[in-house]
Structure 1
Amino acid sequence: MADLNDVLEFCSELDAKLTTTKEPLYREKRIKEHLELMGKKLKYIIPDFEKDLEWMNVSSSLSLSADLKGKIVVLDFFTYCCINCMHVLPDLEALEHVYSVQDGVVVVGVHSAKFDNEKISANILSAILRYGISHPVVNDPSMELWEKLQIICWPTFVIVGPEGQFLQTYVGEGHRQKLIEFVSVALSYYRGKELISKSLLPLQLEKEKLTLTPLYFPGKICVSEDGNRIAVSDTGHHRILVLGKDGIIQDCIGGQERGFKDGGFKEAKMYNPQGIVFHGNLLYIADTDNHCIRKADLVGRCVITIVGTGVQGNDKVGGKNGTEQEISSPWDVALHGSEGKKTDLLLIAMAGTHQIWVYYLQDAAWPGGSQHKAGTCLRYAGSGSEENRNGICPEMASFAQPSGLTVCRDLNKLYVADSESSTIRAVSLANGAVKNLVGGELDPRNLFAFGDREGRGLDAKLQHPLCVTLVQKDLLVVADSYNHKVKAVDLTTNECTTIKMGNAPSQNTLDEPGGICFDKDRHLLYIADTNNHSIKLLDWNTKILNTLPVLFSDNIGLEKSVRQDRPFGGISFDKEVFRCTAQRLTLKLQVCFAEGLHFTEDAPSAWYIWADDETGQQILSSTTNGIGTGKLIDASQQTLLVLDLEPNVTQKFTTLFIKLKIFFCDDNNACRMKEFLFKQPIVFQERSVEDNDLILDLLIQNH
């Protein structure tokens, strides 16, 4: 077998040859010559996947030497936090649109984690659902295949021939046409040798196993100045929801199908929107995967694009007007005022180019006194290099996928959640100087200085923070997403501490929170609890955590917004209407798996309950009573929650909600997630009732 270094060198030589001309026949000839050598002199058989790895989007594990024999296989080495890995997903979709599995082409995602949190299959599964990945994905937490193939960065494509031989590799973004061209020539070449198989694969897409919920991977959240409206980027549904304080949906901006279209709220389309900010009756939206900024008029009920072309750009300086300026993966937005003005600037966390940009809402002189016309969009800070580099010159500083912004007007500072460097940075809005607050380390090139540790400055450690918000001018709160926590940073000492929630267990309360904002009037911290598909409310005074029920304004009700067909089985109560007189309610849950299914080890399967009164207000929950959520551990065990009820509560207590989130696998290590949400009527009676237990039996079948 050939030496891998020789193979990699020859692949680079082919790429160099193909850059010299666009002439199709010449390019095809060179690729075929390359394939000839790869089948003879430089034949290198790629090692097969390790056994016992966990697979997703398929019902059983795959093998290069068996299931994938006779296919042109594109291995996509990725990690789900990486913005560059997100950027190449449309390239893979384009390839899959041209060639199907029956045509002989298969894309396989090889997840090779950067962060510890990304090694857990349940979290990868959530990312697959969030990004709409429809090809097989294998979790290689030890990066075995990565090491064997000498992969050096994310993303990397490796093209494999029908006999398992190494054919070509592409590193980074921007290779769509090269990828499709090479696969096309290789497919034709090996068909001529009768080596291509039309066999199918045991595909079983994770998205087809979902229960629909009102929110689907919510990304960011913001509250209006008067506190009466809450906007949520319902990222997985490609829309923005505007809620009242009670959680009732007042407006739905965009549809559940992705797209790029301006117009009325019902006609407009977005693609994985993230950051949002209120500006009176306007809402500015970072439409991330459309690579643009949108403006929603909440009075006129229409959406227009104000920045971006709808196509990813690589401009790292900018200066063009609005929709003529290409941008790349804006992840968050914040408002600021120049020269004492209230709001004439929109700051943008440009995750795709690792920079901070600014859009001029009005003519303004800023920064440094430079004058710009309304509609101009350009870089404010960041060189564009993916680093953790600070300094007094904003153009020389660098970020690594900035994902969250908040402005402190009193200190004239912009605070940045810099996700890939696992740091919180401060940017002066007077001169653009960038400094580190917490996390990371001194070496600006080391993007692996992450962890979960309280401390001051560099001693503190975060893991992929996604959002920041101010509670007061000297206190910053961070959504530390991969540590599943919210943390506080004292801006006078740079001390970082975990916020202890008075009623929550030590873990598994939040699941990769992506957005936070603070309502100063009500002293409430809103949390977009992304992988739990919910909005949490943290009372800042008591540190009590609750869930905000998200309800449709036409009184459909929460239980009506959930698909009720339950393809994996049902949930049954011992009584249609539960009747109780005691001041203690005992809730028992028994999970029974069909043969061949079991809980996913270490995944955060959990359940919790809450109750509403006759007006729909939440008056009781499993978290507000100091007992936390019930963690699902073993199918042979009953889990138990006990609620001690106050007499005044029992008079109002009419409806009990039960939410379950279960991660489970089959014997082939194909894992999936299932959510259940059910509503149980409760009636309190004066006469004695011996049995005051509510018993739930959940059967999960392998359909």
Structure 2
Amino acid sequence: MMDLVYELSADLTENLADIESRQGKILLVQKCIKQLLNAKDVASPDFREALEWFNVSQPLSLRKHLKDKLVLLDFFTYCCINCLHVLPEIKKLEEKYTVEQGLVVIGVHSAKFDAEKSSKNVEAAVLRHEIHHPVVNDGMNLWNQLQISCWPSIVLLGPGNIPLFILMGEGHTVILDLIIEATLDFFKDKISMKSVPEISPRSHLAPSSGLLFPGRVAVFEKKLLIADSGHHRLLLVNSSTGQVEVKIGCGDSGLKDGSFKEAKFFFPQGIQFLNADVAFVADTENHAIRMIDFKKCLVSTVAGTGEIGNDRAGGSVPATKQQLNSPWGLVLNPKKKILFIAMAGSHQIWGLALEDTKLWKKSVKQGYCVALAGSGREENRNNSYPHIAAFAQPSGLALSGKNSDCILVADSESSSVRKILLDDGAVSGVVGGEKNPNNLFAFGDKDGKSTEAKLQHPIDVCWSSKLGLAFVADTFNNKIKKIDLEKNTSQGARWYFF
């Protein structure tokens, strides 16, 4: 049955582009549904018992609670940037098609990393990303039974839990909207318009510490700037006293420039000081780079439009008109001419030119943002040519080396630390991952040299010029590990983070 669903879904997405009218597109969707119903009806397997659920008052059953609903199953894992991109797409659909109108969305968490299997961590992710629909920590059970092959994947079940369509990857808002409309209309006599009492989204409350999922910190002299990511704001703290001196952002999610009190951010992450008066922020879910002016007490957008982009080159329009894709980490080159950006969503390293400059045989005009390293393919590929190299969700950056001659990259999905030479852009491995560039499952917790060392989804990295060592946040191992760049070794035994 799933083979036919895959086949018809692929044909549908290809053929819809040839039809101009919405009604014609709806009729094509309904024609596919008829083809599936004429085949042997095979209902989806139900969820196993004794699974842990979130945003529900009791575990849901497809056959008991949802047999007369249209069910959208979102197969995701909370560390996957592409899965995170799907969440706002689904949110738009949930606002348009409510449970009472017949659509129920269920997040089916299917872990990649060992740490993601923990229900405690899944629950934290549900809170962090403000997911209000039901989520089940399913392991890989339904994934395997429905023959899912990649993250993210969306499966649409009709009444009686019959699989109808499957879409892989992100960016399907328009086609999903069309499919849901057509399917609800097709089954209008079979779909219940009643609510599902078991669905009970919980309130999302800030912890008593006053911070909510703080993402990054940066220090300049006695200034400590904290990305209070869950509260969509920045806090300037006196590093000596620990007192909050300035709050930047009103605390509501959004994209708005202006004074510190009225500005809005959306899950800000990486921070980089330019000097005592100016800092840059990777405003991750706004897909933008923001600038904080401490003298004028103003926030402005210096790159990005607020909309996610799929450009893999950049440079054709000024940075404020350039669409970005989940910028996460930031670092300045030694001469402070280029702000390097870990573009987690496009799996690349980009640069925002603060002055006219030339880097790796590429001229960049001031105020423009371009891709500098990474092909855009999600791989762990090293190469002396930066655009042939490939990254896998780069998240953290640090200027490093005895002469600040390279940039370290915490490459999360390949579970490795990589480096980029500043003189020619050559990309090479430091620790973690493995030699096969397509294997993104080479993770673990092991000290050692080069690919013998194993990490698990590192998020950030920093460099100590005093010690001549790098330190990596080995996030899913709950450890801080030190890295010797001369020996390409990592060691974690003395660097547990409790």
TM-score by length of 1: 0.69
Does residue 399 of structure 1 match 2:394?
no
| 2:296 aligns with one of 296, 300, 309 | 300
Matched, 1:289 2:274: no
The structure having more radius of gyration, on CA atoms, is 1
1:177 aligns with 2:169: no
| Counterpart check, 1:235 vs 2:221 | no
Q: Which residue of structure 2 aligns with residue 560 of structure 1?
A: none
Query: In 2, Cα distance between the equivalents of 1:65 and 1:73?
Result: 11
Task: Summarize the alignment of residues 266-665 of structure 1 with structure 2, pairs less than 5 Å apart.
Answer: 266-280=261-275, 281-319=277-315, 320-337=317-334, 342-368=335-361, 370-408=362-400, 410-472=403-465, 474-498=468-492, 500=494, 509=498
Q: Which has the higher strand share?
A: 1
For residues 94 and 43 of structure 1, the distance between their equivalents in structure 2, rounded to whole angstroms, comes to: 30
User: Does residue 35 of the first structure (1) align with residue 25 of the second (2)?
Assistant: no
Q: What's the offset of the Cα at 1:25?
A: 1.6
Distance in 1 separating the partners of 2:41 and 2:11: 16
Question: Would you say 1:214 and 2:210 are equivalent positions?
Answer: yes
Aligned-partner SS, 1:469: strand
How big is each residue's C-alpha offset from its partner over 1:254-302, in whole Å with a ceiling of 9 and x where there is no partner? 1221001100011110111100011111110000011010001011110
Amino acid at match of 1:256: G
CA positional deviation for 1:210: 5.6
Residue identity in the other structure for 2:357:
A
> Is the 8 Å Cα contact of residues 68 and 190 (structure 2) preserved in structure 1?
no
Q: Which residue of 2 aligns with 1:252?
A: 247
Number of the residue aligned with 2:115: 117
1:187 is matched with which residue: 165, 173, 184? 184
1:131 equivalent in structure 2: 129
Point out the more displaced range, 468-477 or 266-275: 468-477
> Is the partner of 1:493 in helix, strand or coil?
coil
Alignment correspondent of 1:677: none
Amino-acid identity (%) = 43
Shift of 1:170: 0.6
**Runs (4+) off by over 6 Å:** none
Once residues 125 and 255 of structure 1 are traced to their aligned partners in structure 2, the CA distance between those partners, rounded to angstroms, is 26
Q: Secondary structure at the match of 1:387?
A: coil
Aligned length: 493
| 1:19–1:267 Cα change, 3 Å | same
Aligned positions of 1:122-161 closer than 5 A: 122-141=120-139, 143-161=140-158
CA distance in 2, matches of 1:406, 1:209: 33
Q: Distance in 1 between matches of 2:206 and 2:69?
A: 30
Counterpart residue identity of residue 387, structure 2? E
Native 8 Å contact 2:357 2:365 kept in 1: yes
C-alpha distance in 2 between matches for 1:475 and 1:208: 39
- Identify if the C-alpha distance between structure 1 residues 499 and 263 changes in structure 2 by more than 3 Å, giving closer, same or farther: farther
Matches within 5 A, 1:50-129: 50-129=48-127
Letter matched to residue 27 of structure 1: K
User: What displacement does 1:38 show?
Assistant: 2.7
Change (3 A) 1:443 1:162: same
CA distance in 2, matches of 1:263, 1:444: 44
Instruction: State yes or no: 1:167 paired with 2:164.
Output: yes
CA contact (8 A) 1:79 1:154 kept: yes
Question: More deviation in 420-429 or 489-498?
Answer: 489-498
Question: Greater helix share, 1 or 2?
Answer: 2
SS of the residue corresponding to residue 392 of structure 1 reads: coil
CA distance 1:411–1:334, shift in 2 (3 Å): closer
Q: Name the SS for the 2:84 alignment partner.
A: helix
Partner Cα distance (2:436, 2:161) in 1: 40
What secondary structure, in the 3-state scheme, does the structure 2 residue paired with 1:222 have?
Answer: strand
Q: Which blocks of at least 5 consecutive residues in structure 2 are unaligned? A: none
| Structure 1, unaligned runs of 5 or more | 510-703
| Matches of 2:400 and 2:37, distance apart in 1 | 61
CA shift digits 1:483-528 (9 cap, x unpaired)? 1110000112112111626xxxx67x2xxxxxxxxxxxxxxxxxxx
Please list, as runs of the form range in 1=range in 2, the aligned pairs for 1:664-679 lying within 5 A after superposition: none
Equivalent residues of 1:274, 1:286 under 8 A apart: yes
Aligned residues of 1:67 and 1:201 also touching (Cα < 8 A) = no
3-state DSSP of counterpart to 1:420: helix
Letter in structure 2 aligned against 1:481: T
Secondary structure, counterpart of 1:67 in structure 2: coil
Amino acid at match of 1:395: H
TM-score (normalizing by structure 2): 0.96
Q: Distance in 1 between matches of 2:366 and 2:404?
A: 25
| SS of the residue 1:415 aligns to | strand
- Please give the secondary structure, in 2, of the residue aligned with 1:365: strand
Is the Cα contact below 8 Å between 2:184 and 2:191 reproduced in 1? no
Structure 1 counterpart of 2:487, one-letter code: T
Name which of 5, 9, 19 aligns with 1:7: 5
Structure possessing the higher relative contact order (Cα contacts under 8 Å, 6 or more residues apart): 1
Deviations 1:576-632 (A, max 9, x none): xxxxxxxxxxxxxxxxxxxxxxxxxxxxxxxxxxxxxxxxxxxxxxxxxxxxxxxxx
How far apart are the structure 1 equivalents of 2:429 and 2:347? 16
* CA distance, structure 1, for counterparts of residue 487 and residue 98 of structure 2: 57
In 2, distance between residues paired with 1:234 and 1:150? 39
Q: Residue 209 of structure 1: CA displacement?
A: 6.0
What is the SS of the residue equivalent to 1:102? helix
Does the 8 A contact of 1:156 with 1:170 survive in 2? yes
What is the Cα deviation at residue 357 of structure 1? 0.6
Q: Secondary structure at the match of 2:386?
A: coil
- Alpha-carbon distance, 1:447 to partner: 0.2
**SS in structure 2 opposite 1:183?**
helix
Shift of 1:212: 4.7
| 3-state secondary structure, aligned to 1:158 | strand
CA–CA distance in structure 2, aligned partners of residues 86 and 466 of structure 1: 16
C-alpha deviation, 1:100, in angstroms:
1.2
Q: Return closer, same or farther for 1:468/1:107 CA change in 2, 3 Å cut-off.
A: same
Give a deviation string over 1:450-493, Cα, whole Å, max 9, x none.
00111111111000000010112630000010011100001121
Given residue 484 of structure 1, which amino acid in structure 2 is its aligned partner?
Answer: N
| Partner SS, residue 247 of structure 1 | coil
Question: Secondary structure of 1:39's partner?
Answer: helix
The alpha-carbon deviation at position 398 of structure 1 amounts to 0.2
How far did 1:201 drift? 3.1
SS state at 1:163 partner: helix
Asked if the contact 1:7–1:44 (Cα under 8 Å) also holds between the matched residues in 2, the reply is no
Secondary structure, in 3 states, of the residue corresponding to 1:425? strand
- Return the alpha-carbon distance in structure 2 between the equivalents of residues 372 and 113 of structure 1: 40
**SS in structure 2 at match of 1:128:** helix
Give the partner amino acid of 2:163: F
